[in-house]
Amino acid sequence: MFDLSFLECAVLLLVALLIIKPEDVPGMLQSALRGWRSIRNGYAHFMQNLKTEMDDLSRESGMDDLKKNMHEVTDLEGEIQQAYDLETTPLEDASRRQRPKTVKNNKNPD
């Protein structure tokens, strides 16, 4: 995420140990993890509420019916394309192809 190499992480850890007393590190880690969990839970709660609101709005505005109709049209288009592909197959047989006839000129320049 931050694109840090191992050496950069080791330097950051060393600087953190110089600034923070070693006996305060466990408490700092607990606080950081607690904050991370709070952010993650808040994000999950926000996304769940957003999904619920979007579903409600789509139902109220008739978007569900529009989605259903679009899927039906797409399915119908696929069926039509499939039927068309079955009726019109490319001619692969060389004998069926029309080749232009060449006319030989037998005139001598004498």
DSSP string, 48-82: HHHHHHHHHHHHHHTHHHHHHHHHHHHHHHHHHHH
pLDDT in tens, 54-108: 888 878 887 777 777 888 888 888 888 877 776 655 554 444 555 556 556 666 5
Is the pTM higher than 0.85?
Answer: no
pLDDT in tens, 19-54: 888 788 889 889 999 999 999 999 999 999 999 998
